[in-house]
Amino acid sequence: MRSILLSSIFLLIFSGSCLAILDAFTDGLDLGGYSLPRSVNNYELHDSCLIELRKQMNLEKHASLVYKQMAFHFGSIKMARPGFSKIFEHHSTEEHEHSNKFIKYIDLRGATIGSFNITMPHKTSWSKALEAVEDAIELEHFVTNEIIRIHRIAEKTCKDVHLMNFLENDFIEEQISSINKLMKLATLLRSVGGNDGGYGEYLIDRDFFNGKLSLDEL
């Protein structure tokens, strides 16, 4: 009888200890200054980051349309620069894919993209290729700065390591490389008299069109 009573007391104490441990992990357990929070949701995007990602999604669409406008312009009868048209068409496709990456990432994190709010290109013509390349450099700088700004928000406000890695691995390095190539192209155009959009520009355009020259080779 005594052994049964002792066993019952042991079970009560053991059960109580288990419940206490469970409650501690549920309510937050203090371990020498470290606490286990009740619930941390690292899956859903912080509102501040979601707003910025939606803006960037639209900005990438805008950039794609700017490059599309350049491609149409230089491929027109008036300009007859199929090589530069090819370059800008490539950039247009690239920016469109960037926008889609943001869309897929927002969906991955369980959010919705909201409404598209895309700014149309305000410029529709360029007198020479160098002018368009310089505009492209300015655009890429702006896009890059916005991505870096979102990265800072992800770090300081949202404390979202996954988003930071996404921006670093999928965008920032590529943006820097793109700016570098465009700046080299601008230098090349200036060195062959590209300021006047003449014969030097024609030769570079021909090499781009025939595949003898690419931005990756600059």
Q: What is the pLDDT of residue 33?
A: 55
Q: For residue 129, give both structure tokens.
A: 């290729």
Q: What is the pLDDT of residue 21?
A: 44
| 142 contacts 194 by C-beta, under 8 angstroms | no
Q: Is 140 annotated as a binding residue?
A: yes
Q: What is the pLDDT of residue 5?
A: 42
Q: What is the pLDDT of residue 40?
A: 67
Tally Cβ neighbours within 10 Å of residue 166: 19
Domain boundaries, the chain: 2-35, 47-217
Q: Is 90 annotated as a binding residue?
A: no
- What whole-number distance in Å separates Cα of residue 112 and Cα of residue 81? 41
| 86 contacts 70 by C-beta, under 8 angstroms | no
Closest CA to 109 of 147, 148, 154: 154
Q: What is the pLDDT of residue 20?
A: 47
Q: Is 217 annotated as a binding residue?
A: no
Q: What is the pLDDT of residue 32?
A: 53
For residues 14, 15, 16 and 18, what is the CA-based torsion angle, rounded to 10 degrees?
90
Closest CA to 154 of 48, 43, 40: 48
Q: Is 56 annotated as a binding residue?
A: no
Q: What is the pLDDT along the chain (218 residues), one digit of tens a residue?
A: 455 444 544 444 444 444 444 454 444 445 455 554 555 688 999 999 999 999 999 999 999 999 999 999 999 999 999 999 999 999 999 999 999 999 999 999 999 999 999 999 999 999 999 999 999 999 999 999 999 999 999 999 999 999 999 999 999 999 999 999 999 999 999 999 877 778 999 999 999 999 998 888 77
Tally Cβ neighbours within 10 Å of residue 87: 28
- What whole-number distance in Å separates Cα of residue 97 and Cα of residue 4? 72
Q: Is 175 annotated as a binding residue?
A: yes
- H or E segment to which residue 35 belongs: strand 34-35
Pick the CATH number of 47-217 from 3.40.640.10, 1.10.1840.10, 3.10.20.70, 1.20.1260.10: 1.20.1260.10
